[in-house]
Structure 1
Amino acid sequence: MSRRYGDPIEVWTRDGEPGRFVWRDRLHVVHRVLDHWVVAKEGWKTSPADPGERRFWRVEAARDGGTGAYELRFDTSSGGWLLMRAWEGD
């Protein structure tokens, strides 16, 4: 079962995809991308050059003490990342 969060996270990318991220002071290393999708809406645009996109990745990542699946979101307008959902196991 997943849990919803919406917590800000720090993300390091490689080849345009999340490679690792810090959530709740714990480093998570991405092993693979499970899914990727983009949602764009006019109302999210902050300028004519802004695509108004939110880019989502569902990733499998390892952390101290276990692995899990995580849904990450990148907002092109703000340049910020959020952890939206987590499926954590041990």
Structure 2
Amino acid sequence: MSRLYGDPIEVWTRDGEPIQFVWRDRLYLVRRVLDHWVVAREWWKTSEGDPGERRFWRVDAGPGREVGSYELRYDTAANGWLLLRAWD
């Protein structure tokens, strides 16, 4: 079962992929990228000259030995990361 969050997170990347993130004051290490996809934003919701993209990653990650699956999103127009969903 998954839960929706939409919480802002701080993310560190290497070669454009997330390698760790902080969510609710805990550091999560990304163990594996399960999936990655890109969605173009609707032209009418973008700023002039920057159409923006939303880049999604589904990752296995966890603080310590615990590992779960998480969906992360980076919005290029807003230059920000969100944790959208977590799976039990």
What TM-score, normalized to structure 2? Answer: 0.91
2:70 corresponds to which residue? 70
Q: Is residue 20 of structure 1 aligned with residue 27 of structure 2?
A: no
SS in 1 for 2:77: coil
Q: Quote the offset at 1:51 in angstroms.
A: 3.2
Q: Percent identity?
A: 68
SS in 2 for 1:58: strand
Q: Quote the offset at 1:46 in angstroms.
A: 1.3
The aligned amino acid for 1:47 is E
The aligned amino acid for 2:4 is R
- Cα distance in 1, alignment partners of residues 87 and 52 from structure 2: 28
When the two chains are superposed, the root-mean-square deviation of aligned CA atoms in Å is: 1.2
What TM-score, normalized to structure 1? Answer: 0.90
Gaps of 5+ in 2: none
Are 1:39 and 1:54, in contact at CA under 8 Å, matched by a contact in 2?
A: yes
- Cα distance in 2, alignment partners of residues 71 and 44 from structure 1: 23
Q: How many residues align?
A: 87
1:82 corresponds to which residue? 82
Q: Quote the offset at 1:65 in angstroms.
A: 5.3
Q: Is residue 43 of structure 1 aligned with residue 44 of structure 2?
A: yes
The aligned amino acid for 1:25 is D
- Runs in 1 of length 4+ with deviation above 3 angstroms? none
- Cα distance in 2, alignment partners of residues 38 and 11 from structure 1: 17
1:4 corresponds to which residue? 4
